[in-house]
Amino acid sequence: MKKFPSFQTILILFLIGLLTSCNSGPSKQTAAGEALGTTYNITYYSEEDLALDIALDSIFERVNQSMSTYREGSDISRLNSGDSLVKVDTLFRNVFRLSEKVYMESKGYFDPTVGNLVNFYGFGPERSEKILDTASVDSLMQYVGLDKISLTEAGEVKSTASAVYLDFNAVAKGYTIDLIGHYLESRKVDNYLVELGGELLAKGENLEKAAPWTVGIDDPEQQAENRTLTAAVKLKDRAMATSGNYRKNRIDPATGKMYVHTINPLTGYAEKSDVLSASVLAENCALADAYATAFMAMGLERSNEMLSKLETVDAYLIYAKEDGSMGKYATAGFEEVLVDLD
């Protein structure tokens, strides 16, 4: 005669299964790929499969359609081509308002209207083969200055100069990371690390190690193929963006002079400031991205002055000394999260 399990046995097995399910907790999940002309890597802990790729594709598409200067039909490309009928979306408005804030705080050293200069020096989507002469720079400077642009409540962009060229590439990656973070949190994800093109946003902890997320800062003297770290950071509930001009330059074929990627919006020239690399901690990645860009153009002295006024921002600056050696400066808040590499 076939024996069936007793009620007590079934109950015990059910309770064991229930307890096992309750104690399993969120599992580690990852996503990686290419977007916005770079790569991304995301690690998060969740109790469910979020089908994250679908959400990421949607976020990347929205950002590209709103702010990509490399997409001909994007809102920003239409504005730059003189289309006055464009009404920008919420993403564009948020980035514009944030840019206004940092533009004012940095006294113009962070300026998204340098697009004409970026293209002139050959760093943007419109590659220039022109001779890099002073007269051309002076001519383009009449179109530089975020104070020449205004944004109406209806989403209309107004300009006092006809040929202003907006370029949000210095902050778009950071803002995209923030959008990804908002999505993860809307899906009840409390612990994650989002990296896009070297910019980072961390929430909670690395549950495998029961510790804050640990991330690195590249040595500015090394090339990408020989990547080494100059510092490591414990990152929790903050964003970090790093800007540096040491891997992006253009050689003027007429003079042989190297022009670095950092453009001073106040002079119009691609200058090599004494700050070689700026890593910034902030409450969100868009702000960290913008401040890091500003510090590269401002140089060490002005950056330190600005940092003293920013209560929620910390920075790690690698700079060139007069004798040619490298120096390192960290705010007190950044010192607290530095990790010994030894």
Work out the pLDDT band at 129, boundaries 50, 70, 90.
low
Which domains are assigned to the chain? 28-339 (3.10.520.10)
pLDDT tens, position by position, 16-72 = 444 444 446 899 999 999 999 999 999 999 999 898 999 999 999 999 999 999 999
293 annotated as a binding-site residue = yes
Q: How far is CA 79 from CA 95, 157, 183, in A?
A: 15, 8, 29
289 annotated as a binding-site residue = yes
- Written as six digits, the tokens of 252 are 């003027």
Cβ atoms within 10 Å of 131's Cβ, excluding its own:
11
Which one is predicted more confidently, 118 or 178?
178
What is the distance between the alpha carbons of residues 338 and 335, in angstroms, rounded to a whole number?
Answer: 5
- Residue position matching structure tokens 């903050």: 238
Mean pLDDT rounded to a whole number for the chain: 87
- Written as six digits, the tokens of 79 are 């504005």
User: What does pTM read for this prediction?
Assistant: 0.87
**The predicted structure's pLDDT at residue 2:** 47
- The highest-confidence range among 6-10, 133-137, 212-216, 226-230, by mean pLDDT, is 212-216
pLDDT tens, position by position, 223-264 = 555 667 889 999 999 999 999 865 554 555 555 554 456 789
**What residue type is 161 in one-letter code?**
A
